[in-house]
Amino acid sequence: MRITKVLVIGLLGYWAIGLVGCSKREIKNLDAKGDTIICFGDSITCGYGAEAGEDYPAELAKLTKMRVVNSGINGDTSRQGIARIGQDVLAQQPRLVIIEFCGNDFLKKVPYDETLKNLRLMVQRAQEEGILVAVVDISAGMFMREYRRDFRKIANEEGAIFISQALKGIITNPSMKGDFLHPNAAGYKLLAQRVYTAVKPYLKK
């Protein structure tokens, strides 16, 4: 009987440790000020393939009832993101920046390690200014899954919100796409809903 009790206590201890290990990680700058969200990225952010007002930042503004700035530029890599984050994000002092880069890094063969370094630096620079940060992963299933793995790791280590597989079921669905790589209005609307679901808990005062 005593051995059984010891075994049960031991198992409960391991279970408790497991719960602690799975607890919600700390997100930095939850007390960020301001009422603006900046969507910072490339063609996926700027809304390539859809009409004006059908991009995901425009849809996100409707969902959050907040001012949302579209700072996406078609063709940008993480290199351009590093170059313009000061002017387009930090100088604006938003409450939240949603960072979406890597598609063009992949297509233009930017070295993988450089992409990761640039993403981490963008996250850190925004956080140093007291800004809440979210990282968007545009992988889907097996496609670009290595980016998903390492972007998640960076977000976890730096205390950023991670939005996983934001384009899943979009880039493989012709009814959701404007071309081979970009969503259409319906796709961007679904993307906005996924982003909103991920960031909503952290926007509550």
- pTM, entire model: 0.87
The fraction of the chain above a pLDDT of 70, given in percent, is 87
Measured CA distances, 86 to 25, 41, 90, 122, 174 (Å): 27, 14, 5, 9, 37
Number of H helices, E strands in the chain: 8, 5
- 138 Cα distance to chain centroid: 9
| Spatial separation of the C-alpha atoms in residues 155 and 98, rounded to whole Å | 12
The per-residue pLDDT for range 122-155, each reduced to its tens digit, is: 999 999 999 999 999 998 877 788 999 999 999 9
DSSP conformation class of 175: G
* pLDDT at residue 20 greater than cutoff 90: no
Q: Which residues contact 171 (CB under 8 A, 6 or more apart)?
A: 140, 143, 177, 181, 183
For the chain, give the number of residues.
205
165: region left, alpha or beta (phi > 0 left; psi from -120 to 50 alpha): left
Per-domain residue ranges for the chain?
Answer: 26-202
CATH architecture of residue range(s) 26-202:
3-Layer(aba) Sandwich (3.40)
Measured CA distances, 115 to 15, 100, 122, 160 (Å): 38, 12, 11, 17
